[in-house]
Structure 1
């Protein structure tokens, strides 16, 4: 006599719940048990370490560009990094300004290095929907500088700088 063995797969992982499930009340439900409460897990909330900034939201185009200009004009980033983000006239102006590093930190005179420049505030005006005219206040120690630039939205939906100006420099070259 010939007997045939039938192979079956092991049953799916199930758990029982006291309440109702997708398969019916009191019946096993496939998969791991779900979380029932809506509260966040308890635990200590810690503040970020000193000197660490948390980015709350994504930077707006004018804020991002102000940071990039600061890095370039302070000598911490090469000019060519902004090549795809500027139009020809603005790039030429950037190439002219960058070697002088007009936003570089200046010495404090007390034997301490000058703090790195930071964008203190960045504002904007929108003359048209596809144009942003922005300004940034750059702080380096007790020195405050102004930076102005214009961004235009291209056909490829990318913002590009079309004009750039930095206030008069008091440094004698």
Structure 2
């Protein structure tokens, strides 16, 4: 029997005969997680869908959305939609508007012109917001808003104040003033 064990030991490759103190051969990898685990946070592990470490399409879309939301026209248009749809009170924009624009905005907000009506109760959303700079420190912007199956337009002017904050100096909804809406 001892000769059979010796014959078996001779048939095994040298790597299997020389075992480490832990009982494993030096070439056997040590697993550090449960079997079948794929953790993207681990160094050296890659998701099978990521090709050469490139971000996925959804990650690129999310990054583009975050960048768009940081732009002053889009940021202010989002706040205007919340106020004009009745989701937030008008005074939340007090520190972001000049006095004449605040009066116009409060006149518009009293009617909640972007509030969903009828059977379609979806909240209004900003489709697009862009602006141009006729001179330094001024952005003349517009936003396209969708309310149910209808699209509306908001125009506004942002001015850079000495405290380095953008403030709204004028607002119009669909080209109408609040006096014309009464």
CA distance in structure 1 between the aligned counterparts of 2:168 and 2:45, rounded to whole angstroms: 45
Shift of 1:147: 0.3
CA distance in structure 2 between the aligned counterparts of 1:78 and 1:92, rounded to whole angstroms: 14
Structure 2, unpaired ranges of 5+ = 1-42, 50-55
Q: Deviations over 1:65-93 (max 9, x none)?
A: 00000000000001110000000000001
Q: Are 2:100 and 1:100 equivalent residues in the alignment?
A: no
CA distance in structure 1 between the aligned counterparts of 2:48 and 2:168, rounded to whole angstroms: 45
Structure 1, unpaired ranges of 5+ = 1-38
Distance 1:44 1:68, change over 3 A: farther
Shift of 1:44: 6.0
Distance 1:103 1:40, change over 3 A: farther
Q: Which residue of 37, 41, 47 corresponds with 1:43?
A: 47
Pairing 1:18-167 to 2, within 5 Å after superposition:
41-43=45-47, 54=62, 55-57=65-67, 58-108=69-119, 113-167=120-174
State the number of aligned residues: 125
Shift of 1:40: 6.0
What secondary structure sits across from 1:123 in the alignment?
Answer: strand
Structure with bigger helix share is 2
CA distance in structure 1 between the aligned counterparts of 2:152 and 2:142, rounded to whole angstroms: 10
Q: Deviations over 1:100-140 (max 9, x none)?
A: 001111223xxxx4211111111211101100000001101
Structure with bigger strand share is 1
Cα RMSD after superposing both structures:
2.5
What secondary structure sits across from 1:94 in the alignment?
Answer: helix
CA distance in structure 2 between the aligned counterparts of 1:128 and 1:144, rounded to whole angstroms: 29
CA distance in structure 2 between the aligned counterparts of 1:60 and 1:74, rounded to whole angstroms: 21
